[in-house]
Structure 1
Amino acid sequence: MQAVKRVLAGHPVAAVARELGIGESLLHNWVTRHRLTEGGGALQVEQAAEIARLKRALAHKEEEAAILKKSDGVLCAGIPVRYAFLQTHEDRFSVLAMCRVLDVTRSGYYAWKRRGESPRDEENRRLDADLQRLYNFHKGRYGAPRLTLDLRAEGWRASRRRVAKRLRMLGLRAKAARKFKATTQSKHGLPTAPNRLEQDFTAAAPNRVWLADITYVGTDEGWLYLAVVLDVYSRAVVGWAMAERITRDLVIAALTMAVWRRRPAPGLIAHSDRGSQYASGGYQAALELHGFLCSMSRKGNCYDNAAMESFFHSLKVEQVHDRRYRTREEARADIFEYIETYYNPIRRHSTLDYLSPRDFENRKAA
């Protein structure tokens, strides 16, 4: 024990070992065992303190990363805009971290707060609250153009530029697009029809031109296929069907729903791609039964059915891409909700002067 005490007092291990006539390695072992048993408490405290420090540092880095992501664009704005961001997000982030990320001082921020809100600040605060509410209502699908129209419908006289600026300040942005593959299988020997539209996606009245196509949605159970019929006049989805297999019955079911809903007169142009489902005898017989004229896109030309591709793009970006469906039934319910309770009655369509399909038809019929 005296040998260990001498080493702990600062004497070299080699000198103490030589003085007492013991091996250096043995003395090293004694010192190590003593430190682990007698001094273990202090060592554990030191280690715990270091771990706590590292955890705090990591938490600060994560918080700063979250602030930076949320404040995208605010750093390029003026100091008052940065102060407004701090005030808006005080309940989520620490003021110290936000000041560090946005390169402002706490003293300057608190001085700004003490001066009180100007009329413009107070108006911006109310505008931000309404913007956040509308953004949440549309589930992040709307950007500045459509949100500006929603605000004006509620009585706000805000420009698109101002709305875009407030969205940046709030760290809000519309959902981003992702690519998706086509499902067309046109390598078949079935008869095809001429292209009667030639990329003219206009109609003088409802139920004159319908578009049809198929897309797919991934689930944990496998693919769910969606067939849609779209009225060119109002871009309304007039028929749809979903199944786990991509067959002619799927596209016939979507067409049958559209006919049942709209009761169109003979002579309607039913346009689709050259997929085997649309070229099948069963689908062609259904068109003939109702007196519809079949039209088909040119082989491999997605622009010939661009309006339908646009709908699928909106569906995938706004409803599907940020979700994981565990079952096909879960996907069915979600897609039904998008089409029937949002897209047709509410979603503003740029082609329709930013009216929803239902509002466009009602306004034209009035």
Structure 2
Amino acid sequence: MGNKNTGKKYNEDFKKMVVDLYNSGNSAKDLSSEYGVSEVTIYTWIKKFSPMETEDGTSITSDEIAKMKKEMLRLQEENENLKKGSGQICEKVKTTELIKVLVDLQDQHDTQTLCGVLGIAKSTFYQSFKKTESNRERENKQLTKRIKEIYRESKMRYGAPKIHNLLEKEGYNVSVKRVQRLMKAAGLFSIVKKKFRPQSSKTKVMERENLLDQDFTTSTINEKWGADITYINTLRDGWCYLASVMDLHSKKIVGYSFGRKMTTDLVISALNNALDTQHTREGLILHSDLGSQYTSEDFQKLCETRKIKQSFSKKGCPYDNACLESFHAILKKEEVNHVTYLDYKTANLAIFQFIEGWYNRKRIHSGVDYKTPQDIEDQTKTA
């Protein structure tokens, strides 16, 4: 067993991954050897993060118990302080003003508890609430509830424009600005995409024909495709690679391949997956960058055999393949940047769930009139 780096810091995700491996049957000795962490440290993590079963059958960790105890002590102290001062305050404040406070706090705390703290009878509150709550306030409550549901269903990926579009489809008469205000009031914010910064390279690459020339317009599916590769990191297997093929009409990922190496076989597999599921015609344009995988002899032969015309971006110009750059940015923004993948297998499953379960079939796109890629493909086939 090698020396352990006792000065190294580990984030919560790393610790939990190690504990998950231990709970899956790996020994502390093997984990210590594989990840360079002392067995004593691993057992400390196990004690902290391994779930214990409660009387009602649910699981809770010792770390969560400690946090709950700390929170309970804080709440008890706040409650005592509030009780001491609330009596004098409530005597000086009008009941109508106290009712407004109750309305504001109703979504965050138990109504009966609030009434007790502020010295207001529960019946008094409900009678006054019915009188004072406006139609607008009731509508905002209903809207906020539905907004939260859509936000959770999208896994925090949708901002106000997309939520507004879905609300309109459901029959709500509401503006985007109102949705923005309600989301802000509820503390709901979509995941922000980092701006793409192109990187330059001094490597000499032979220029090839750019048939697309940034003209992404199409009249039907399987007329123009885009292809690209992106990188995804895992704890155990290091960097893995995703090769994607997108139909530029529907924005659907029609084929992809996920592998441990960035090879020609990877991009050939992605293209074959697309060809296996799509009915293509002679003259289909496939656009990619000038990477060696796409300019390889084997890949060119496949394109020639399937009557596909290859188109290439200019060196150092990611905007020539903007659709694929955008998809990979969305993938990173909405999935990859928020997860630590243990290995190739777990990352592969997550990518499958994102592409097939979310992006193609559920995620609405502003570029295709707030429809899903699958909707566009289906509509085109039945037109």
Structure 2 unaligned runs (5+)?
A: 1-69, 79-98
Post-superposition offset of 1:225: 0.4
CA contact (8 A) 1:239 1:254 kept: yes
Give the whole-Å Cα distance in 1 for the aligned partners of 2:168 and 2:138.
18
Give the one of 206, 213, 216 matched to 2:228: 213
Amino acid across the alignment from 1:218: N
1:341 to partner: Cα distance: 1.3
Aligned partners of 1:325, 1:356: CA distance in 2, in Å?
27
Between structure 1 and structure 2, the one with the greater Rg is 1
Structure 2 residue 282 is matched with structure 1 residue 282: no
State the 1:185 CA deviation.
Answer: 8.4
Shift, 1:202, TM fit: 1.2
Q: 2:150 aligns with which of 98, 116, 134?
A: 134
Q: Secondary structure at the match of 2:255?
A: strand
Match of 2:243 among 227, 231, 245: 227
Structure 2 distance, partners of 1:235, 1:82, is: 48
2:56 is aligned to none
Matches within 5 A, 1:49-128: 56=74, 86-90=105-109, 114-116=128-130, 117-128=133-144
Aligned-partner residue type, residue 266 of structure 2: L
**Number of aligned residue pairs:** 284
The reply to whether residue 163 of structure 1 matches residue 179 of structure 2 is yes
Partner of 2:264: 248
Residue in 2 that maps onto 1:38: none
Could you tell me whether the CA contact under 8 Å between 1:183 and 1:214 is conserved in 2?
Answer: no
Q: Which residue type is aligned with residue 216 of structure 1?
A: Y
The Cα shift of 1:188 comes to: 6.5
Q: Partner letter of residue 115 of structure 1?
A: F
For residues 319 and 196 of structure 1, do their structure 2 counterparts lie closer, same or farther at Cα, with a shift above 3 Å needed? Answer: same
Provide the residue aligned with 2:165 in structure 1: 149
**TM-score between both structures, scaled by the size of structure 2:** 0.67
1:86 deviates by 2.7
**1:205-262 Cα shifts (integer Å, max 9, x gaps):** 1111110000011110211100000011111100000001100000000000011110
Cα distance between partner residues in 1 of 2:273 and 2:200: 22
Structure 1 residue 85 displacement after superposition: 5.1
Deviation at 1:82, TM superposition (A): 8.6
By how many angstroms is 1:266 displaced?
Answer: 1.5
Q: Which digits, 9 at most, give the CA deviation of each residue in 1:109-137, with x for residues without a partner? A: x9987434322222221111111111000
- In the alignment, is the contact (CA less than 8 A) between 1:146 and 1:348 conserved in 2? yes
Contact 2:198 2:316 in 1 (8 A): no
Structure 1: runs of 5 or more not aligned: 1-51, 61-79, 96-105
Q: CA deviation at 1:282?
A: 0.9
1:361 shift after superposition: 2.6
Q: Does 1:272 align with 2:288?
A: yes
Distance 1:184 1:293 in 2: 27
* 1:183–1:289 distance in 2 versus 1, CA, 3 Å: farther
Are the aligned partners of 2:201 and 2:316 in contact in 1 as well (CA < 8 Å)?
Answer: no
TM-score after normalising by structure 1:
0.69
- Report the Cα distance in structure 1 between the residues aligned to 2:100 and 2:193, rounded to whole angstroms: 29
1:299 pairs with one of 291, 315, 325: 315
Report the alpha carbon displacement of residue 186 of structure 1 after superposing the two structures with TM. Answer: 9.2
Matched, 1:328 2:344: yes
Secondary structure at 1:308's aligned position in 2? helix
Instruction: Kindly indicate whether the alpha-carbon contact (under 8 Å) linking 1:212 and 1:228 is maintained by their aligned counterparts in 2.
Output: yes
Counterpart for residue 310 of structure 1? 326
Query: Aligned partners of 2:202 and 2:271: how far apart in 1?
Result: 20
Q: Percent identity?
A: 37
